[in-house]
Amino acid sequence: MSEWLEVGTKAPAFTAVTDSGAKVKLSDFKGKIVVLYFYPKDDTPGCTKEACAFRDASSQFQKLGAVVLGVSPDDEKSHAKFRDKFTLNFPLLADPEHKIGDAYGAWREKNMYGKKSMGIQRSTYLIDAAGKIAKVWKKVSVDGHDADVLEAIQSLSANE
């Protein structure tokens, strides 16, 4: 199990397949602010609420020059169904072998009703335009998270 990344460290590079079958790399977004959020599973209540909040705030993210990327262990077909069902307007990255989750410390031991298992911890990384970790939310509560992220981007933009 990997550790959480600290603010100020370089964001680990990755390549992943999106919900549309395209390959993306973190380096494709060099010069932009990236909101990299990890969620456990497509089309489950909390994950749907979080994705729809990011969808609904997308124009605000775009105005601030930020890109939102959602990551879960689901495959691209599952992501495509999730995207289409909720008209999601940002890429969902397939991480079935949880390599990205591992690199960012989001793949962790979870304890559900006394049963331990490995899974994605709902978490978000804000990566600045230089590719460094600017902020980390380790255990995300879905309600109001999109607003917290927007606020962090605004203060990041004000300091650059």
Contact status, residue 16 vs residue 93, Cβ threshold 8 Å: yes
Q: For residues 137 and 116, what is the distance between their CA atoms, to the nearest angstrom? A: 22
47 in catalytic set: yes
Closest CA to 91 of 160, 159, 24, 8: 24
Q: For residues 99 and 44, what is the distance between their CA atoms, to the nearest angstrom? A: 22
87-113 exposure pattern, b = at least 16 Cβ within 10 A, e = fewer: ebebbbbbbeebebbebbbbbbeeeee
- Which of 47, 120, 127, 152 is catalytic? The answer is 47
What is the set of active-site residues? Answer: 47
